[in-house]
Amino acid sequence: MPTTKKPLVIVTRRLPDAIETRMMELFDTRLNLNDQPMSQSELVEAVKTADVLVPTVTDRIDAAVLSQAGPQLRLIASFGTGVDHIDLKTARQRGITVTNTPGVLTEDTADMTMALILSVPRRLTEGERLLREGDWGGWSPTHMLGHRIWGKRLGIIGMGRIGSAVARRAKGFGLSIHYHNRRRVDADLENELEATYWESLDQMLARMDIISINCPHTPATYHLLSARRLKLLQPTSYIVNTSRGEVIDENALTRMLERGELAGAGLDVFEHEPAVNPKLLKLSNVVLLPHMGSATIEGRNAMGEKVIINIKTFVDGHTPPDRVLEAMF
Ligand code: 8YV
């Protein structure tokens, strides 16, 4: 849509200052200064007037919203990598281009995944809580015993950018790398990671000590870890999720954790964010984080830069670098 008039860009949440300022310079930008997530009707109002919408994971850009978009809405430049909050099919049918911000949050998310892989078996947050509550009576040989990381098997579900970055870190901690992916990765990458490919997710699950979810949420991965599959895990195994809550049946997982049918879980994401199953909050063998896998200033600035580049390229009449197509998922 090459034009001399600045496009109206509506940003649904607060972004880092530097990003908002640059957007104000480049575009006719409408910011959300109070940072309250928009309601569905506010989103409808936004798509009626915006040329470009910049949503985040907290906005549900579904068919009901998109069906009310004005003809001027040509681009949804999402701030984030996951696009499960956007109805890509309806967007395509309405001729709306969608972009995301891949790559720039890989290392931060992999760091957080590794932090959870270490925290849960080594009981990090449990120990910290005990100390803060004044319940530490001093060192004892049998106190706060967790489980060793070194030498265990890590099963990564989704060996994309983030999965591979997790594997590189995990190798350094002495974990052996196993993975399940829609497609087997290149031999070079498999060799570098010394990774074992499992075509059958069920078979991998039954043999791992720690499972890490690193695949996107799509119709095909919704409840990929169903009640049936979770039961395949050994009772001594751990599960960490920094991807999307919807990939795991959260109620089934909670029940198994309550009954001691799994050793523990590290969850940065939940099925119905920001709601968290209250039963999870009561468990000591879980580490729960408020979706902060990519929450670094550096990462957020880089995400914002990508949003700007995507908008600018599109507005200048070119294909934006991070165009999202349904076929990718
Ligand atoms: C982002 C994420 O913070 O990019 C993603 O897919 O899950 C997060 O790390 C969030 O999506 C921003 O919209």
Domain pair 8-104+296-315 / 106-288, same fold: yes
Instruction: Report the separation in Å between the CA atom of 58 and the middle of ligand 1, taken as the mean of its atom positions.
Output: 9
Instruction: Report the separation in Å between the CA atom of 150 and the middle of ligand 1, taken as the mean of its atom positions.
Output: 30
From the candidates 244, 246, 250, 300, give the one annotated as an active-site residue: 244
- Residue 3: pLDDT band with limits 50, 70, 90: low
Q: What is the mean predicted confidence (pLDDT) over 184-193?
A: 98
Query: Of all protein residues, whose CA lies closest to atom 12 belonging to ligand 1?
Result: 80
291 as an active site residue: the answer is yes
Look at residue 1 in the predicted model and tell me its pLDDT: 54
135 pLDDT exceeds 90? yes
Token pair in block for residue 279: 């039963």
- Residue 326: pLDDT band with limits 50, 70, 90: confident
Atom number in ligand 1 closest to CA 55: 13
Instruction: Report the separation in Å between the CA atom of 253 and the middle of ligand 1, taken as the mean of its atom positions.
Output: 23
Atom number in ligand 1 closest to CA 109: 9
Confirm if 16 and 34 have CB atoms less than 8 A apart: no
- Residue 280: pLDDT band with limits 50, 70, 90: very high
Is residue 241 in contact with ligand 1, taking CB distance under 6 Å? Answer: no
244 as an active site residue: the answer is yes
- When the pLDDT of each residue in the chain is averaged and rounded to a whole number, the result is 97
Q: What is the CATH number of domain 8-104+296-315?
A: 3.40.50.720
What's this model's pTM, rounded to 2 decimal places?
0.95
Atom number in ligand 1 closest to CA 57: 13
Atom number in ligand 1 closest to CA 80: 4
Instruction: Report the separation in Å between the CA atom of 109 and the middle of ligand 1, taken as the mean of its atom positions.
Output: 10
Instruction: Report the separation in Å between the CA atom of 82 and the middle of ligand 1, taken as the mean of its atom positions.
Output: 6
- Residue 277: pLDDT band with limits 50, 70, 90: very high
Q: Assign domain 106-288 to its CATH superfamily.
A: NAD(P)-binding Rossmann-like Domain (3.40.50.720)
2 pLDDT exceeds 90? no
Instruction: Report the separation in Å between the CA atom of 229 and the middle of ligand 1, taken as the mean of its atom positions.
Output: 26
β-bridge pairing 210-213 and 75-77: unpaired
Query: Of all protein residues, whose CA lies closest to atom 1 belonging to ligand 1?
Result: 80
Look at residue 327 in the predicted model and tell me its pLDDT: 75
Q: What is the mean predicted confidence (pLDDT) over 236-253?
A: 98
Is residue 7 in contact with ligand 1, taking CB distance under 6 Å? Answer: no
Residue extents of the structural domains in the chain: 8-104+296-315, 106-288
Query: Of all protein residues, whose CA lies closest to atom 2 belonging to ligand 1?
Result: 80
Is residue 81 in contact with ligand 1, taking CB distance under 6 Å? Answer: yes
Is residue 198 in contact with ligand 1, taking CB distance under 6 Å? Answer: no
Dihedral (CA of 79, 82, 84, 86) sign? positive
Look at residue 183 in the predicted model and tell me its pLDDT: 96
Instruction: Report the separation in Å between the CA atom of 103 and the middle of ligand 1, taken as the mean of its atom positions.
Output: 12
- Tell me the best of 19, 35, 57, 270 to mutate to test the pocket of ligand 1, counting ligand atoms within 8 Å of each CB and taking the most: 57
Is residue 79 in contact with ligand 1, taking CB distance under 6 Å? Answer: yes
138 pLDDT exceeds 90? yes
pLDDT > 70 in the chain, percent:
99
Is residue 293 in contact with ligand 1, taking CB distance under 6 Å? Answer: yes
